[in-house]
Amino acid sequence: MKQKYEFDLTAHTAPIVNILHEVLAQGDEPLSTDWLNRVLRKYPRPDGGMYSRSQLITGYRELAGTHGLPAFDERVIERLRRKPVRTSSGVTPVTVLTKPFPCPGTCIFCPNDVRMPKSYLSDEPGAQRAEQNGFDPYLQTYSRLLTYRNTGHPTDKIELIILGGTWSFYPETYQIWFIKRVFDALHDFGEGINRCDEVETLLKRASQLHPDNNITTAQVIGTDLTQTYNQVVQQIYHDEMTRSREVAHQFAMGIKERTVIDEFATWDELEAAHRQNETAACRSVGLVIETRPDHISEEEVLRIRRLGCTKVQIGFQSLNDAVLRANKRGHTVSATRRAVKLLRMAGFKIHAHWMPNLYKSTPELDIEDYRRMFNDPDFRPDELKVYPCSLIESAELMQRYQDGSWRPYTHDELLHVLTTCFRHTPEYCRLTRVIRDIPGTDIVVGNKATNFRQLVEDELAKNGERSPDIRAREVRLAQIAMDDLSLDELWYDTSCSREVFLQYITTNRDIAGFLRLSLPNRDEPPLTDELRDTAMIREVHVYGQALGIGEYGQGKAQHLGLGTLLIERAVALAREHGFNRLAVISAIGTREYYRKRGFVDAGLYQVREI
């Protein structure tokens, strides 16, 4: 099940030292793939193969300062790093999936892969990693951190992204346990402790979710839904679900000793893990869950805040009640309006999912829908995933395709819809993904191009345009000086606040850092007394290649002090608008950062008196 991540240098020292000498002889010149491949062929592995970049990075970390190599220099790691874009947004993202579990939705477009949590497919890269690790949160997190370290990426500022089905529908004890175990993995990794063998042994012995034990061949076919996803999942995983419930009950009654794979933890245990993470070597600087609009309530937003969450991915799918109804979404647009308002009142970053080409929609309706999303103050998400509807064999939508009442958009129709949508995206929103990462082999008919964002950007470029969204404007790996930047303020209204998007930008509006400030409407009571008469920082983000905590990089946006400057401007604006306090929805691993900037712990938030 488990990859062999650790690289034994014993038989490889001589060729790796030779390769590293050639790399260092290049000075600061970029390492082209062709050049590096020539060097790798010149010094092959003893078995005749070529060394990977991750093996070179491991070798450099262990051999720097020996064998005639100079002392360790992080810039060498940067030059050897694979896929630097993955951490060019300032943090290192780690995605983990929850286990297969019943879902409250009956959406006709949703895949019904019973090996996965609802809406996910076993061929998707993140889903494959989850399945290989038995959906265990510790193994998923630890293995992903190892991969990042071995490919040269920093691992001390982590954005944790928990995906899979409807988070709010899972048992609370499972949620608490899952997040606690993710934090356990962060802490062990930061301290150089690896408990993966112990966890895997227990998982293989006791859990159906271990890949050696999970040998189901059951399938749900969209054209013949004699059983639903929920019915099949409950049948297949009946023993696993029963075991989980019994373990939680027995532990609560004090009649069983837990193991690390038993899906039960207490709030006290989670909060202890939170406290440890505040100063850990590997910190959570953001924690994301995903759920449905009809599962958001006042109690729920405060509960997920207690879990440590800072951002919520939420499925809008459509803002047209007729389309939602035709697709059996199970809620109305009014539920989405209410959910967005409650999440915003609690300070969460709102990361919406939206789907063009749904059953009973058209290109014209989709464009109208997208404009509504940003013209109507009830919505206006901070981030957005655009997922054009794909036809998957296990989805009920197969029936609508077969009877001719639904068809996928042509390439030109989809390009027109997405190009128009990009043009109408405001600067405060980040388009995080365009086209879901579904393998073409799983798509029955329709678009299979995964580079559609590039196609849209190329289409815009033909007209001398580019997308105004955040992702298209990030400075990424560019060298930035303070003199290159100016502070820009974008103001807009929502259903419960006046929002200010503060951004440091270059002359061509590339973005180096931003802050989302919320000035709540005074005619509505806050969700909690902590937020009474309080403005709210919902997010502070500085772009550029992620740097380690306390690390300085010449010309790097991450260490120009932009975060502090943005916070002080937010304090001034809050004061100007009559607020006595400024709160921040801080991640667990950023609490120390905010304490150093005058904020004190107030419960679910940190607060600074003005």
Q: Write down the domain spans for the chain.
A: 13-80, 99-288, 292-473, 475-609
CATH 1.10.4030 given to domain 292-473 = no
Please report the pLDDT score of residue 416 as a whole number: 98
Please report the pLDDT score of residue 4 as a whole number: 43
| 234-237 contact pairs (CB < 8 A, 24+) | 234/102, 236/100, 236/114, 237/99, 237/100, 237/208
Residue-wise over 485-506: b if at least 16 C-beta within 10 A, else e? beeeeeeeebbbbbbbbbbbbe
- β-pairing verdict for 486-493 and 497-505: antiparallel
pLDDT tens digit sequence for 387-415: 999 999 999 999 999 999 999 999 999 99
* Distance of alpha carbon 379 from alpha carbon 337, whole angstroms: 7
Task: Indicate the burial class of 91 (C-beta count within 10 angstroms; 0-12, 13-18, 19 or more).
Answer: buried
In sequence order, the 6+-apart residues with CB closer than 8 A to the CB of 24 are 69, 70, 76
Place of tokens 């049948």: 235
Please count the other Cβ atoms lying within 10 Å of the Cβ belonging to residue 536: 27
pLDDT tens digit sequence for 26-36: 887 778 888 88
Please report the pLDDT score of residue 90 as a whole number: 67
Q: Which run of H or E residues covers position 284?
A: strand 283-291
Rounded average pLDDT over 554-563: 69
| 259-263 contact pairs (CB < 8 A, 24+) | 259/202, 259/206, 260/138, 260/181, 260/184, 260/195, 260/198, 260/199, 260/202, 261/136, 261/199, 261/202, 261/203, 261/206, 261/207, 262/177, 263/171, 263/173, 263/174, 263/177, 263/178
Nearest to 581 by CA among 507, 546, 529, 544: 529
How would you write 317-379 as a 3-class SS string? ECCCHHHHHHCCCCCCHHHHHHHHHHHHHCCCEEEEEECCCCCCCCHHHHHHHHHHHHHCCCC
* Distance of alpha carbon 398 from alpha carbon 281, whole angstroms: 49
**Which residues does residue 535 pair with via DSSP β-bridges, in sequence order?**
582
Rounded average pLDDT over 334-362: 98
Nearest to 194 by CA among 263, 146, 134: 146
Nearest to 517 by CA among 545, 489, 553, 495: 489
Encoded tokens for 450: 């995964």
Choices 3.40.630.30, 3.40.50.1970, 3.90.550.60, 3.40.50.1980: CATH for 475-609: 3.40.630.30
* Distance of alpha carbon 43 from alpha carbon 45, whole angstroms: 7
* Distance of alpha carbon 604 from alpha carbon 606, whole angstroms: 7
**Which residues does residue 311 pair with via DSSP β-bridges, in sequence order?**
288, 349
* Distance of alpha carbon 427 from alpha carbon 438, whole angstroms: 28
Rounded average pLDDT over 178-198: 97
pLDDT at 19 over 90: no
Task: Determine the 3-state secondary structure of 568 from DSSP.
Answer: helix
Contact 579, 533 (CB under 8 A): yes
pLDDT at 132 over 50: yes
DSSP string, 380-445: --SEEEE-----BTTSTHHHHHHTTS--PPPHHHHHHHHHHHHHT--TT-EEEEES----GGGBSS
Confidence of residue 82 (pLDDT cuts 50, 70, 90): low
Chain centre to alpha carbon of residue 247: 30
Query: What share of the chain in percent tops pLDDT 90?
Result: 72
* Distance of alpha carbon 408 from alpha carbon 376, whole angstroms: 28
Contact 343, 316 (CB under 8 A): no
pLDDT at 3 over 50: no
Rounded average pLDDT over 312-333: 98
Query: What share of the chain in percent tops pLDDT 70?
Result: 95
pTM (2 d.p.): 0.89
End-to-end CA distance of the chain: 54
Sheet containing 283-291, strands listed edge to edge, beginning at the edge strand earlier in sequence: 92-97, 157-163, 283-291, 311-317, 349-354, 383-386, 430-434
Confidence of residue 6 (pLDDT cuts 50, 70, 90): low
Confidence of residue 535 (pLDDT cuts 50, 70, 90): very high
Confidence of residue 251 (pLDDT cuts 50, 70, 90): confident
Task: Determine the 3-state secondary structure of 563 from DSSP.
Answer: helix
Rounded average pLDDT over 260-265: 93
Please report the pLDDT score of residue 33 as a whole number: 84
pLDDT at 555 over 60: no
Q: What is the mean pLDDT of the chain?
A: 91
Task: Indicate the burial class of 443 (C-beta count within 10 angstroms; 0-12, 13-18, 19 or more).
Answer: middle
Sheet containing 511-520, strands listed edge to edge, beginning at the edge strand earlier in sequence: 486-493, 497-505, 511-520, 534-542, 581-584, 606-609, 600-601
Place of tokens 């503060």: 502
Encoded tokens for 296: 């958001």
Contact 589, 157 (CB under 8 A): yes
Contact 71, 65 (CB under 8 A): yes
Q: Which of 221-235, 334-348, 409-423 is predicted with the least confidence, judged by mean pLDDT?
A: 221-235
Place of tokens 């650790």: 6
Phi, psi at 606, each rounded to 5°? -110, 145
Phi, psi at 529, each rounded to 5°? -60, -25
DSSP string, 450-508: S-HHHHHHHHHHHTT----SHHHHB-TT----GGG-EEEEEEEE-SSEEEEEEEEE-TT
Nearest to 488 by CA among 505, 513, 467: 505
